[in-house]
A and B are shown apart, each in its own frame.
Chain A
Amino acid sequence: MKYICLGYYRPENVENMSESERNAMFDECFTYDDELRKNGHFAAGEALQPANTAMTVYWKNGKVAVTDGPYAETKEQLGGILVLEARDLNHAIQLMSQHPAVKYGSLFEIRPAADLNEMIQQSEQRRRTSVAR
């Protein structure tokens, strides 16, 4: 099963660290990521640039609008996503509980990946039928 782990952190926490503290944290986190990779648990993952680099695309008054932001209102910001391969939900929880980032104040939201295969198959069926007509 795949689990999407959304990692949230407090930018000010990291800013207030000394360089050596920060390095220690990164070393520890990357070591653990390697461990996950080595054991086949790390299916994919990316770190995100700060929230002030974000842009948003949405629909407004009948056309696409593009704005800067959103600027985070909360203290916790999304810092990265990790796609975890685990046997079940408790295994995923266990793997993320050991992630050193947790100890440094980050939090992980763990969400089971949704299986859309059936929806996609139904959609393909609909599209085939409409082409046939």
Chain B
Amino acid sequence: MSEHSTAEIRELLDSLYRVDSGRILATLIRLLGDFDLAEEAMQEAFAAALSLWPRNGVPDNPRPWLISTARFKAIDTLRRRARFDASQDELARYLETQWNSAEESNEEASVEDDRLRLIFTCCHPSLPPEAYVALTLREVCGLTTEEIAKAFLITPRTLAQRIVRAKAKIRDTPIRYEVPSPQELPERLDAVLQVIYLVFNEGYSAAAGAGVTRAELTGEAIRLGRLLTELLPEPEVIGLLSLMLLQESRHAARTSPTGELILLENQDRSLWNREQIAEGVALVERALKSHRFGSYTLQAAIAAVHAEAESTAMTDWRQIVALYNQLVRIQPSPIVELNRAVAIAMRDGPEVGLALIDAVFAHGELANYYLAHSARADMCRRLGRTAEARSSYEKALALTQQEPERQFLQERIRQLK
């Protein structure tokens, strides 16, 4: 126990909340068997810490202290409710007996599993997919409803309702609090990875200056990626973390001080974050070695080739095309085809690229995808087909609302006039 002022305690608790609330909540949900009761008990435990720690000192192990305090608070709550609802008393008694046995077998492994249980519960197939992100960010990352709503540009009311409904579904179904079986794991893990990458992309594509909160989403996604890598080091988990780190490494070089988008070929590569690149590259190598990797690892490998090149001209486009060839095989999609066409254009010239892009367009799926028109425009521009280039840039412009992208496209159109 050590002495601290209330202000220091408040700061300490804020950082504990930030770092550990997901972990504490995850364990409490297992111990109490109820999301709401667990959350409420955790809030109370933090409040109790704020009033007790300045007087009694900070416990040597704050986390177990908070968990055990929350447990007692939960039993207290049930006891109080039992005065009006007898069934609550049984529950309180049950929890108390369970307690003592839990105390003895409180091994670190099951606590770590709790966090996995929580992540998989938040992304459970019985829940509506639009609830995944909201629940994961609130329950696992400890963000508030208002913060999440702001980051995703929806009203707190809509988001709150999603969370309320999802929790009711968890309680009423009931959804078991568990890590999926090995048979289910690939599919269930895929849903979790999708959520993490969605959170990342939401932050990554946020316009510069559109608020700190959106940019923080990339940080949250990377934090989730790290957590999952630590708990469940499957190749694709590692691949996704690598992909996010490699994309994030270009953060400082992606936009000009005035908020304009800077394309990869024009970025000042000295601004790339070498530390993130080194970590990303090491991770992707680890994932590739497993020979069980999938699309995230391949995308990370492509990002790694870019990250290690000194310039667009010095980039190993042959290797990038080879990686896209693999990616097209395991994850055939018009967007991957488009990216592959762009890479082939870098290797073999814009004429080949344009033919490939037009072939993708011929399937009709990318007609409303602004990047497809923008890529086509770029090929035409490089081939000197000015009128065609301008018309494609204009189509792209009509399809995007994001301000940096719009500015970039408008500038290209202006240059072609």
A residues contacting B by CB (< 8 A) are: 1, 24, 28, 31, 35, 39-40, 87-91, 93-95, 100, 112
The CA of A112 and the CA of B146, in the complex, are separated in Å by 10
Q: Which residues of B contact A1 (CB under 8 A)?
A: 144, 146
Residues 68-87 of B, flagged 1 when their CB comes within 8 A of A and 0 if not, give 00000000010010011000
A88 x B83 contact (CB < 8 A) = no
Q: Which residues of A contact B84 (CB under 8 A)?
A: 24, 28, 31, 100
The CA of A28 and the CA of B160, in the complex, are separated in Å by 27
Q: Which of B38-46, B295-303, B314-322 lies at the interface with chain A?
A: B38-46
A31 x B145 contact (CB < 8 A) = no
Q: How far is the CB of B242 from chain A (nearest CB, A)?
A: 33
Q: How far is the CB of A61 from chain B (nearest CB, A)?
A: 39
B334 within 8 A of A: no
The CA of A35 and the CA of B43, in the complex, are separated in Å by 13
Q: How far is the CB of A45 from chain B (nearest CB, A)?
A: 18
Question: With A35-B77, A89-B156, A93-B164 in contact, is A40–B47 under 8 Å at CB?
Answer: yes
B36 x A112 contact (CB < 8 A) = no
Interface size on B, residues (CB 8 A): 21
Choose one: B40, B44, B47, B144; the contact of A88 (CB below 8 Å).
B144
Question: With A87-B144, A89-B146 in contact, is A31–B83 under 8 Å at CB?
Answer: yes
The CA of A35 and the CA of B44, in the complex, are separated in Å by 11
Q: Which residues of A contact B39 (CB under 8 A)?
A: 91, 94
Q: Which residues of A contact B156 (CB under 8 A)?
A: 89, 112
Choose one: B47, B157, B163; the contact of A39 (CB below 8 Å).
B47
B residues contacting A by CB (< 8 A) are: 36, 39-40, 43-44, 47, 77, 80, 83-84, 138, 144-147, 156-157, 159-160, 163-164
Choose one: A28, A35, A88, A94; the contact of B36 (CB below 8 Å).
A94
Q: With CB as the reference atom, state the residue of chain A lying closest to B146.
A: A88
Q: Which residues of A contact B47 (CB under 8 A)?
A: 39-40
Q: With CB as the reference atom, state the residue of chain A lying closest to B17.
A: A87
Q: How far is the CB of A51 from chain B (nearest CB, A)?
A: 28
The CA of A83 and the CA of B370, in the complex, are separated in Å by 48
A90 x B164 contact (CB < 8 A) = yes
Q: How far is the CB of A102 from chain B (nearest CB, A)?
A: 13
The 6 closest A-B pairs by CB, nearest first: A88-B144, A88-B145, A89-B145, A89-B160, A90-B145, A28-B84
Q: How far is the CB of A88 from chain B (nearest CB, A)?
A: 3
Q: How far is the CB of A98 from chain B (nearest CB, A)?
A: 8
Q: Which residues of B contact A89 (CB under 8 A)?
A: 144-146, 156-157, 159-160
Choose one: A28, A31, A39, A93; the contact of B44 (CB below 8 Å).
A39
Interface centre among A24, A31, A39 (most CB of B within 10 A): A39
Q: Which residues of A contact B83 (CB under 8 A)?
A: 31
The CA of A91 and the CA of B146, in the complex, are separated in Å by 11
Q: How far is the CB of A30 from chain B (nearest CB, A)?
A: 12
Q: How far is the CB of A123 from chain B (nearest CB, A)?
A: 25
Knowing that A89-B160, A95-B40 are A-B contacts, what are 18 other residue pairs whose CB atoms are under 8 Å apart, sorted by A's residue number? A31-B84, A39-B47, A40-B47, A88-B138, A88-B147, A89-B145, A89-B146, A89-B157, A89-B159, A90-B160, A90-B164, A91-B39, A91-B43, A93-B160, A94-B36, A94-B39, A94-B40, A100-B84
Q: How far is the CB of A115 from chain B (nearest CB, A)?
A: 11
Q: How far is the CB of B48 from chain A (nearest CB, A)?
A: 9
20 of the cross-chain contacts (CB-CB < 8 Å) are A1-B144, A24-B84, A28-B84, A39-B47, A40-B47, A87-B144, A88-B146, A89-B144, A89-B145, A89-B146, A89-B159, A90-B138, A90-B145, A90-B160, A90-B164, A91-B39, A93-B164, A94-B36, A94-B40, A112-B156
The CA of A1 and the CA of B43, in the complex, are separated in Å by 14
Q: How far is the CB of B352 from chain A (nearest CB, A)?
A: 53
The CA of A58 and the CA of B164, in the complex, are separated in Å by 40
A90 x B163 contact (CB < 8 A) = yes
Interface centre among A35, A89, A94, A112 (most CB of B within 10 A): A89
Q: Which residues of A contact B77 (CB under 8 A)?
A: 35
The CA of A88 and the CA of B137, in the complex, are separated in Å by 13
B80 x A35 contact (CB < 8 A) = yes
